[in-house]
Amino acid sequence: MATLTTVEGIQYNFDPGTVVAVSDHDPATKQAVTCVYGVTGNYLKVTESIQEFLSRLKITANFAPSTAPNGGAVWLNGSSIAAIRGRVAGDARGANAVVYTSSITQWLKDSVADAVTALNAHGGKL
């Protein structure tokens, strides 16, 4: 069991295996803040950096660093990725790949080939 405390001061006890992604920006406000996905139905904002959060939980090896279309950092749990596809009409500007988990869809600036290589090196099976 692990804990995290949100920027609002709410503490969560959770299974570190539920974390599917961690990003460095709030997608709604564009605020620079670490957002943790997978613990609850929505992302949770924390004061730790991505690296501090993953390192404290001892799960860094499970996460592949990637780049969101806006240039922000997003780290993805390789074993949480169910599918990946290339860009199609209507995708976020700057996206070259889209990954899917059971709880989130994440557009990536990375190519499909680069994303697959990185994710598979971190527990993915794509």
Residues 6+ apart with CB under 8 A from 11: 3, 4, 5
Residue boundaries of the structural domains of the chain: 2-120
Q: Which residues make beta-bridge pairs with 65?
A: 75
User: What pTM, to 2 d.p., does this model score?
Assistant: 0.95
3-state secondary structure of 44: strand
Per-residue pLDDT in tens (0 to 9) along the chain, 126 residues? 999 999 999 999 999 999 999 999 999 999 999 999 999 999 999 999 999 999 999 999 999 999 999 999 999 999 999 999 999 999 989 999 999 999 999 999 999 999 999 999 999 999
**CB of 28 closer than 8 Å to CB of 59:** no
Q: SS3 breakdown of the chain: % helix, strand, coil, rounded to 5?
A: 20, 35, 45
